[in-house]
Structure 1
Amino acid sequence: MGTPNGDNTQAAADSIKVVSSTPSAGPIGVFDSGYGGLTILHEMRSLLPQYDYLYLGDNARAPYGPRSFDVVYQFTREAVIKLFSMGCRLVILACNTASAKALRTIQQNDLPRIDPSRRVLGVIRPTAECIGSITHTRHVGILATEGTIKSESYVMEINKLYPDIKVTGVACPLWVPLIENNEYDTPGADYFVKKRIDSLLFLDPEIDSVILGCTHYPILLDKILKYTPRGVKIIPQGEYVANSLKTYLARHPEMDAVCAKHGRCHYLTTENKDKFRESARIFMHESVDAETISF
């Protein structure tokens, strides 16, 4: 995994240190390459409505799934620094691809230089933690983007916690475009959903639990359930990530103290704000106002 130019890194780090000198409470930052992270945000707001949230969707550069590790890292790092500059002291990468390809480098290499008191968390670890109590056969499936599958992040995280679990993944490259083009509820979507589920269960018929390793996929949940055999548990991430955040804040009162609590939520996008508003309705089931920004 590559690292950015040293001069640029130091300049960015110095600029954030200026911001971090005033440790006032700010919103919890929630980042995704596009719209899928809204499914995570929805669950967070349902469980923890008292907190302020700042959602940033890099819609202009989505999807991240097919992009290289270096590019995803660079894009994600830019977004994290943007959220830090807007007062966030805790940022959730509500994007499996960003969590798989960028989180570790940001945590280990960037945060110590930028501001060791800030935190960036992902969505893969909380999902991996829950799986041990769900699977009985110890055979688990992952449906995700090509980038997440190729990273093997779920395999590594699950096997760190549960070495006895066999993990099998299948990439679903057309699922996100189906959702973002509002084709998720058409007969054509059935074909692609069934095809990927059949492929996964062909590779391992003993699978009894399937993780939806992309935050878009809950939008397809009705179709996924339709083509999944009875007895196979489908695991969307939102509930588990929200519960993990609640536990994290309880365990880290110093971080909880710098998370603002006014029940507010603001949305940022790198795309046209009207386009964001229209597409966000699919995920949030309500109208939202957004602001267009650039890095």
Structure 2
Amino acid sequence: PYGARSFEVVYEYTLQAVKFLFSKDCPLIILACNTASAKALRNIQQLDLPKIDPSKRVLGVIRPSVEKVSEITKNGRIGVLGTIGTVISESYPVELKKWSDGKVINTVQEACPMWVPIVENNEIDTPGAEYFIKKNVNNILKKDPNLDTLILGCTHYPLLKTQIQKFVPKHINILDQGTIISEKLKEYLNRHPEMESRISNQGSIQFMTTESSEVFENKASLFLGRKVQVQKIHF
């Protein structure tokens, strides 16, 4: 997990992964990590991509999430639950202002440093998990009791959604990024037929990791609810 790592480390790790996937003939890459999107995406898009291959694209998860928020919020009161890195970057408040379309947007954030370890260690349904989730949710509701939308600003957090819902008033929309990103990707491809034509229609899934493949297999199987096979790679 990248949440507490420095800007330089996140950028370097992300760039290495992007270059590797480009070497596998991927014309379009999504950084499915809020911290990587916050700390590395802009540099990769503006500085690295023109030198590597200007015809390829690297997209993040923050802008699509913000676009969705701007469509559904009624009062412009937005909460972001994220990693330390994502919160410190201020990426969500900045992007929300850009996409406000004239609306007054008030954004509050809460860093939840214990949530990723809870998921990674498969401690989702434990008293400890409930304690930290309740604490962080209560904190963000104190910052703005009038929230109408809550962004789960980390791709680990949807696995905690059932727990989170226990402490969030029912009128507040809780945004799960998985569905949003897939919908926005479809819209992107519709707008860019030149990119869609480069993508194979013969769908397949490969899992790769630079860490222990056994550890990754266990965690990926937990995330996806099915057994997966993982290949260990070296950059």
Q: TM-score range by the shorter chain?
A: over 0.9
Root mean square deviation, CA, Å: 0.9
Shift of 1:133: 2.4
Counterpart Cα distance in 2 of 1:281 and 1:249 = 29
- 50, 58, 81: which is aligned to 2:19? 81
- Gap regions ≥5 residues in structure 1: 1-62
- 4+ aligned runs moved over 4 Å, structure 1: none
1:181-196 → structure 2 map (5 Å cutoff): 181-196=121-136
Residue in 1 that maps onto 2:170: 230
Counterpart Cα distance in 2 of 1:65 and 1:217 = 12
Residue in 1 that maps onto 2:185: 245
1:95-154 deviation line (CA, Å, top 9, x unaligned) = 000000000000000011111000000000000001122222211000000000000000
Greater length-normalized contact order (CA 8 Å, ≥ 6 residues apart):
1
Query: Structure 1 length normalisation: TM-score?
Result: 0.78
Shift of 1:190: 0.4
Residue in 1 that maps onto 2:199: 259
Residue in 2 that maps onto 1:202: 142
1:155 corresponds to 2:93:
yes
Shift of 1:208: 1.2
1:14-163 → structure 2 map (5 Å cutoff): 63-162=1-100
1:238-271 deviation line (CA, Å, top 9, x unaligned) = 1111011001111111111111121211110111
Counterpart Cα distance in 2 of 1:120 and 1:253 = 16
Number of residue pairs matched by the alignment = 233
- Gap regions ≥5 residues in structure 2: none
Counterpart Cα distance in 1 of 2:218 and 2:8 = 31
Counterpart Cα distance in 2 of 1:109 and 1:133 = 31
SS at match of 1:104: helix
Counterpart Cα distance in 1 of 2:134 and 2:52 = 45
Query: Structure 2 length normalisation: TM-score?
Result: 0.97
Counterpart Cα distance in 2 of 1:262 and 1:97 = 30
- Once the two structures are overlaid, the 10-residue window that deviates more, 70-79 or 95-104, is 70-79
1:2-13 → structure 2 map (5 Å cutoff): none
SS at match of 2:109: strand
SS at match of 1:229: coil
State the AA in 2 paired with 1:175.
Answer: W
State the AA in 1 paired with 2:63.
Answer: R
> Share of identical aligned residues, percent?
52
1:12-49 deviation line (CA, Å, top 9, x unaligned) = xxxxxxxxxxxxxxxxxxxxxxxxxxxxxxxxxxxxxx
State the AA in 2 paired with 1:113.
Answer: K
Counterpart Cα distance in 2 of 1:132 and 1:248 = 17
Shift of 1:181: 0.3
Residue in 2 that maps onto 1:289: 229
